[in-house]
Each structure stands twice: as structure tokens, then as C-alpha cells.
Chains A and B, each alone.
Chain A
Amino acid sequence: DVKVTQSSRYLVKRTGEKVFLECVQDMDHENMFWYRQDPGLGLRLIYFSYDVKMKEKGDIPEGYSVSREKKERFSLILESASTNQTSMYLCASTVDRGLGNTIYFGEGSWLTVV
């Protein structure tokens, strides 16, 4: 069965802290994504990666960076967390770059920045 795993489900961090959100997929997928999910705003793409060590900015990359050192792992980094980054973060993957691929989501990481 397809699996996207986000290691941290709930985090509380202080303003200014560096935060790492980890995501692992076991499907040998090429594409991986980080979205932010906020009520009324839907899912907004932060970054995506279509290969190891490759990354592309999404719609809201400011304040975030990513790392993809291995195919199965895609990390989201908040260099200096701020309260407006309190949100639900969703990791997702698709098999490749093609059209019409199903997106597989992780369960999400709730981040609260105080």
C-alpha cells in the first residue's frame, strides 16, 4: 500500500527557532511536494522537487527552504519560525512528472509557533 509518512504530527515551537519537518515516501516516487493548508485558503504549494537535489519554488516559498538528499525523503525547513507560519503542513508525492498522476498525501504536521 502507498505510504507517505510525516514523522512529526504535532509540534510547538518558539518564534525564531529552526524547524525541520520530515517526509518519507516508500513508493519510489520522483515528485515530492510540500503544501500548507489553512482554513479558507486551501492548499498552497511551498516547494516541490522532481529529483534528488532538485527543488523548485511553489507559490509561497518565502520563509521556507527544502532539502532532498535521497529520493524517498523531502524535508521542509523553517529557518526562523514566525507566528504566521502556524499551520498544517502536508507532504505529498506523485510517481513522476506526468499528467494525471494521483497525488498521495501524508497525514500532515500541525505546527504551532508561539
Chain B
Amino acid sequence: AQRVTQPEKLLSVFKGAPVELKCNYSYSGSPELFWYVQYSRQRLQLLLRHISRESIKGFTADLNKGETSFHLKKPFAQEEDSAMYYCALSGQGAGGSYIPTFGRGTSLIVHP
């Protein structure tokens, strides 16, 4: 069974402070990991994925297979980063499809 754990429901920081949103996963194979973001009154959308190894809006995430983690980081938080962040894992499910499993989400609030 695959599982994604986001231990923090809420993370509150001041503008300019570093941010780290934690994500741990459980999966027996080689997973593909993502971060999705939901800004206020907008639909959930992809922020970044492990396979692309890219930085989006200043955010990065490194897959640590030893610690089974995929933490999301940004060196200097901006007010517009305030949103709900979901970590997701794509693992093989029924019918051979890769099924996305999501964590419970972390609400990031960046204060001015």
C-alpha cells in the first residue's frame, strides 16, 4: 500500500523567512513524487514533480530515498506563496494504472 504523510497541518512564517514543508512516503517500489498547490479560489495545480528536477516559483524538492522524504523548500517566502500544499505519490494500482495518492495537505501562511 502506498501512503503519503504531511505531518504539519499549518505552517506560519514571515515574509523572507525560509520555508520547508515536510512530506514522507511509504511505497514498496520506485515512486514518482509531486507537489500540488491550491491558491485561494483556484483549482489544484501541479507545482513541481521529482522527475523533472526543476525549480518552480523558487521552490525545490529533493527526493531522499533513504529517509523516504520529498520535502518542499523555498529560501525566502513571499506572501503570494500562501496556499494549501499537497504532496502526492504516483504508485501502481489496479489495472496497471499509476494512481496518485495525496497527503492531508499543509496550509502555508506567509505574513507580511
Contact = CB atoms under 8 A, between A and B. Distances in A.
Interface of A: 31, 33, 35, 40-45, 48, 50, 54, 56-58, 90, 92, 94, 97-103, 105-108
Interface of B: 6, 9, 32, 34, 36, 43-46, 49, 51, 86, 88, 90, 92-105
B39 to A, nearest CB: 12
A31 B98 CA distance: 10
B104 A45 contact: no
Contacts of B90: 99-101
Contacts of A50: 95, 97
Contacts of B97: 31, 48, 50, 56, 97
A105 B95 contact: no
Nearest to B45: A105
B102 A42 contact: yes
A103 to B, nearest CB: 5
Top-5 shortest CB links A-B: A42-B104, A43-B102, A97-B97, A105-B44, A100-B32
Given A48-B99, A101-B90, A106 B43 contact: yes
Given A105-B43, A106-B43, A107-B43, A99 B95 contact: no
A45 B99 contact: yes
A51 to B, nearest CB: 8
Which of B32, B36, B43 has most A Cβ within 10 Å? B43
A98 B45 contact: no
Contacts of A90: 44
Contacts of A58: 99
B89 to A, nearest CB: 11
Contacts of A35: 102
Contacts of A40: 9, 104
A94 to B, nearest CB: 8
A108 B79 CA distance: 25
A72 B100 CA distance: 19
